[in-house]
């Protein structure tokens, strides 16, 4: 088992998306998502930053554990888009915060071109944001967990003996 950790700058429900039965990491962190070394059973851990953006503003969550997920599946964007279990993770822009920050918005058209549906990673007018598209699809995979802990702004402090994961 290996632990992959990273510093979270924004915790709005998009990356990770901890809602429902599954915690998913479908956008951002392309190096982790594309790593050939990452195996099922490995953990992905997100730690807080000094000025973490949350829905209520910015707060200091430095050295705090925002979430931890044991990777139980690793699937393609196409599989994620079509899989019935993950339809609730498609964004609904005029919905609740949970619905707005759905992370299931990439798929290919009939010619093999990437489509970025209207989402938190799109431009304000709903059009494709090429910067996010390029970064996100570079990750190649969606990481899925049925075994996860999400603390958000109630994150516990990481013990001193584990502080190197921050």
Give per-residue pLDDT as tens, 58-102: 778 889 999 999 999 999 999 999 999 999 999 999 999 899 999
CB 142 within 8 A of CB 78: no
The set of residues, in sequence order, having a beta carbon less than 8 Å from that of 159 and lying 6+ positions away, is: none
Q: Can you give the residue range of the structural domain that contains 133? A: 3-165
This prediction has a pTM of 0.92
Question: What is the C-alpha separation between 127 and 149, in angstroms, rounded?
Answer: 33
Burial 86-96 (b: 16+ CB within 10 A, else e): beebbbeeeee
Q: Residue 39 is encoded by which pair of tokens?
A: 């195996």
Between 160 and 165, the more confident residue is 160
Across all residues in the chain, what is the average pLDDT? Answer: 94
Instruction: Please count the structural domains in the chain.
Output: 1
Instruction: Please compute, for residue 53, the number of CA atoms within 13 A of its CA located in the half-sphere on the CB side.
Output: 6
């Amino acid at each position: 088992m290996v632990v992959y950790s990273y510093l979270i700058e924004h915790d709005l429900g998009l990356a990770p998306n901890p809602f429902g039965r599954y915690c998913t990491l479908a956008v951002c962190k392309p190096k982790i998502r594309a790593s050939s070394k990452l195996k099922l059973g490995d953990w992905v851990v997100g730690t807080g930053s000094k000025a973490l953006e949350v829905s209520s503003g910015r707060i200091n969550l430095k050295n705090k554990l925002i979430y931890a997920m044991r990777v139980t599946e690793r699937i393609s964007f196409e599989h994620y888009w079509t899989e019935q279990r993950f339809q609730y993770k498609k964004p609904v822009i005029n919905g609740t915060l949970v619905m707005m920050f759905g992370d299931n918005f990439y798929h290919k058209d009939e010619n093999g071109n990437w489509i970025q549906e209207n989402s938190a990673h799109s431009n304000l007018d709903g059009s494709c944001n090429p910067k996010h598209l390029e970064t996100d699809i570079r990750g190649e995979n969606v990481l899925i967990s049925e075994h996860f802990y999400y603390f958000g702004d109630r994150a516990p402090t990481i013990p001193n003996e584990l502080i190197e994961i921050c």
